[in-house]
Amino acid sequence: MTKLPIKSEVLEYTKGQLSVEKVEIAKLVKKTGTPVYLYSKKAFLDQFLELQKALDSLDHLICFAIKANSNLEILKLLKSKGAGVDSVSGGELFRARKAGFSGNKVVFSGVGKTDREIIEAIQYNKTGILSFHVESIEELFRIDAIAKKLKRKVGVALRFNPDVDAKTHPYISTGLKENKFGLQSDELDEAVTLLKGLKHVSLHGLSIHIGSQLLNLTPMQDAFYRLLHKTEKVEKALSYRLKYLDLGGGIGVQYKKEDKPISLTQYGKLIKKVFSKTPYKILLEPGRVISANAGVLVTEVLYRKPRSEKDFLVVDASMTELARPSLYGSHHEIIPVEEALFTDRKKQTTDIVGPVCESSDVLGRDRDLSMQLKRGDLLAILSAGAYGFTMASQYNSRPRPAEVLISGTRHRVIRKAENYADLIHGES
């Protein structure tokens, strides 16, 4: 069997063609068109259930980070297995409500919650949400004032910035002192003191999130112990016990051959080692690890531009469908859908670029790809299920693509491709 550049239980060359589960990509995109996001139901569930299993003996709730993949059908799928959600905006709270999450399964993070968002969270499904993850002292006062007006008492957690270096890309590192996120140790102590004077918020927990795409458990372990230490201090000051600790998300995935992701079993073991003897419910906010390798973005080759140093393949997907490579220089494996083009030994150094009028519109740089690849051939951009569609834009007036969920031999369009009318929606 032809070996793929990254490990996958759901992608495979069969009968000379790349398939997602039992669906041949080439056949499917004849119906859907390209570019298109294809998701595997099995891949989402496998990851979610494996994480759940890794935490089995622990009282826990996995709150999927909506920002990674916010499609309603994906949210409903995870909900059906017992997931909660981590939201960071009023829009994500709206999606959570539409997907049917009850308030006690919703947490609300985010460094700049507006009054409107705070009201929406307090009034979520009438009951309100499980936890506001408070990021500043001013926010704490704001929530208290709004809760007072609405005659409610709301549960909050303080987001602790544990000052550990997650050693990931600086744009997705969040747990260092210089980052805008969370309360530094002394700010958190002050917040606890001030809380005592506030009648409409109750402190139920602490939360952390130190960064994303972490491929090493050591910074997480450091952060967990710092969190535990802080919890003891906070409880002394409060003279009561907290109910939950939220460990955030951040587990990395395999994007390229060399990446060695953290095993979910090891991650679970670490969490159990640190927290199993504590009385707290453990909340988690994983996004990428559940969704990244459940999705591919399929694109068609439009043109080849041969150059002396390397060729360019211009494709019909771009930074507007998948922003990660142009925004962070992220690597996504890009492979031909036709097996013969994948295994072809006559390769050429190639940049895969989109049609957008920006030099940064590059999906893959210096890739060794078959010289035979030409107009009409299909490429699959792997690991695109997290921060793919959710970061898509309409720049250059490009309608956003469809999302399709595959299960076994079946597929379902779970978001239609936008059309030109969608581009001017709301313009007078």
From the CB of 212, what's the least distance to ligand LLP, in Å?
Answer: 3
Please identify which residue in 26, 45, 145, 172 interacts with ligand LLP, judged by CB under 6 A: 172
Stretch that binds ligand LLP, among 89-97, 150-158, 208-216, 397-405 (CB under 6 A): 208-216
Stretch that binds ligand LLP, among 140-148, 244-252, 398-406, 412-420 (CB under 6 A): 244-252
Distance of CA 69 to the CA centre of its chain: 6
Does position 288 interact with ligand LLP (CB under 6 A)? The reply is: yes
Distance of CA 195 to the CA centre of its chain: 32
Instruction: Write the Ramachandran bin of 276: left for phi over 0, alpha for psi from -120 to 50, otherwise beta.
Output: alpha
Which residue intervals of 181-279 are DSSP H helices?
185-195, 218-238, 264-275
Does position 68 interact with ligand LLP (CB under 6 A)? The reply is: yes
From the CB of 88, what's the least distance to ligand LLP, in Å?
Answer: 7
56 in helix, strand or coil?
Answer: coil
**How many alpha carbons fall within 13 Å on the CB side of residue 32?**
30
Does position 250 interact with ligand LLP (CB under 6 A)? The reply is: yes
Residue 341 or 363: the one with the smaller Cβ distance to ligand LLP is: 363
Q: 19, 38 in Cβ contact below 8 A?
A: no
Q: 338, 16 in Cβ contact below 8 A?
A: yes
From the CB of 387, what's the least distance to ligand LLP, in Å?
Answer: 3
Please identify which residue in 108, 224, 387, 389 interacts with ligand LLP, judged by CB under 6 A: 387
From the CB of 286, what's the least distance to ligand LLP, in Å?
Answer: 4
Please identify which residue in 65, 99, 301, 369 interacts with ligand LLP, judged by CB under 6 A: 65
For the segment 389-408, give every residue that binds ligand LLP (CB under 6 A).
none
Stretch that binds ligand LLP, among 48-56, 205-213, 371-379, 393-401 (CB under 6 A): 205-213
Does position 89 interact with ligand LLP (CB under 6 A)? The reply is: no
Stretch that binds ligand LLP, among 188-196, 259-267, 286-294, 334-342 (CB under 6 A): 286-294
105 in helix, strand or coil?
Answer: helix
Q: Catalogue the active-site residues.
A: 357
* Residues in Cβ contact with 9 at an 8 Å cutoff, skipping those fewer than 6 apart: 42, 43, 46
Please identify which residue in 324, 400, 411, 415 interacts with ligand LLP, judged by CB under 6 A: 324
For the segment 2-61, give every residue that binds ligand LLP (CB under 6 A).
none
Does position 120 interact with ligand LLP (CB under 6 A)? The reply is: no
Residue 219 or 286: the one with the smaller Cβ distance to ligand LLP is: 286
Site map (CB under 6 A) of ligand LLP, residues 406-425, x = contact: --------------------
Q: 241, 279 in Cβ contact below 8 A?
A: yes
Stretch that binds ligand LLP, among 257-265, 281-289, 331-339, 358-366 (CB under 6 A): 281-289
b/e for 179-193, b at 16 or more Cβ within 10 A? bebbbebebbbebbe
Chain length of the chain: 428
Please identify which residue in 71, 87, 109, 370 interacts with ligand LLP, judged by CB under 6 A: 109
Does position 92 interact with ligand LLP (CB under 6 A)? The reply is: no
Q: 158, 203 in Cβ contact below 8 A?
A: yes
The CA distance from 184 to 182, in Å, is 7
Number of residues that bind ligand LLP (CB under 6 A): 19
Question: Which residue number is nearest to ligand LLP in terms of Cβ?
Answer: 249
Closest CA to 137 of 173, 164, 111: 111
The CA distance from 380 to 321, in Å, is 13
Assigned token pair, 167: 């050693």
Does position 332 interact with ligand LLP (CB under 6 A)? The reply is: no
The CA distance from 85 to 64, in Å, is 5
Q: 358, 319 in Cβ contact below 8 A?
A: yes
Residue 21 or 333: the one with the smaller Cβ distance to ligand LLP is: 333
Q: 424, 58 in Cβ contact below 8 A?
A: no
Stretch that binds ligand LLP, among 6-14, 187-195, 285-293, 405-413 (CB under 6 A): 285-293
Strands (E), 139-186: 154-159
Binding site for ligand LLP (CB under 6 A): 65, 68, 86, 109, 172, 209, 212-213, 248-251, 285-289, 324, 387
